[in-house]
A = this chain, B = another copy of it.
């Protein structure tokens, strides 16, 4: 189908960058450009309050739902039937200033520029920030948008317990962001999210825009490996039941599986804890996580099964007990081809170099894709560094991406599906 193209607006790049930098002062990590604003923490609260203030300053209707998702709309009807954008403002423990924040503040900038231009919108515009996208403090990641689309009940969300022993519901009450708006939320007309790539592909290729076709499936598993703690000097190798030996071999196996499968498959052991963690003691148990991702669901399932099989074999050989628990599991997502085509076409019109690509990271957009036509725009991450205070995207790319977001959102206000 052909999509009608309306006029667009010129966004104010300096205002965008100023807002990004001001928000980054909250939870700033000393001596770096990074941020630490874990979901529902005091820093998250302070960040939320700042962004809500900006939303209200534009005269937008701001709603807060039962899991803390915040939506600002040009219509008093909120997100219903709106062309929506957004992302998240929580960060990992040692994160950057662009991950998530760019998408939210770019959306705010597009709305401010549109309102200033006095454009008569055929549909409202809305910008959201969803709760706990990172999942660093409470599993699963993308919690807020998952609840927004009805994929997880409010009750289940509020009961989630974090690694630090706190509970989502209590923390949400504590920071005052358990709101009255209904969850699941209203269905938008369309959803487009601008995000930094968080990977090296665009930067290495010297391209401006990633036209995102879909999101990799994500599988998070926690293993508890229990062996026999003992003196490191006196137990012959062949008589050991060493859970760290199994953990190491499983880590190597996960990597091997990813390399053997190839394609978009990745595997990461990002968290691992030994007990009692002493130089001269064979550990009693090891807790570890494995993060597997693939754009292809069948391949991802193969990787999961293969790793489970190898883990069982390795543990059996060492006499170590395995307890396995799924922390998060999302199938790969394909974005709406009409939205994807629209983004690509508008980027080309602006003379921007583009690449169609999958997202290696999970994003709120993949949840919104369950309820409305959805797409994503990527801008480059220098050296692919993200989830790290050294995360960086050039100002020019932030501005180019935000302008393309404006073009896309305004075009979508004129589209009927």
Contacts and interface: CB of A to CB of B under 8 A. Distances in A.
A359 B235 CA distance: 10
Interface in A153-204: 197-200
Nearest to A216: B233
Contacts of A301: none
| Best-buried of A233, A245, A327, A384 by chain B (most CB within 10 Å) | A233
A198 B272 contact: no
Interface of A: 92-94, 134-136, 139, 141, 197-200, 216, 218, 220, 222, 228-237, 239, 242, 244-245, 247-249, 251-252, 255, 258-259, 265-274, 276-284, 289, 291, 293, 327, 359-362, 381, 384-388
Nearest to A264: B236
A300 to B, nearest CB: 12
B280 A239 contact: no
Mostly, the A contact residues are: loop
Contacts of A359: 233-234
Given A234-B361, A276-B94, A388-B229, A283 B258 contact: no
A284 B390 CA distance: 11
B233 A218 contact: yes
Contact of A384 (B200, B235, B237): B235
Contact of A233 (B139, B291, B388): B291
Nearest to A220: B279
Contacts of A258: 237
B235 A245 contact: no
A149 to B, nearest CB: 20
Contacts of A291: 232-233, 279-280
A385 B282 contact: no
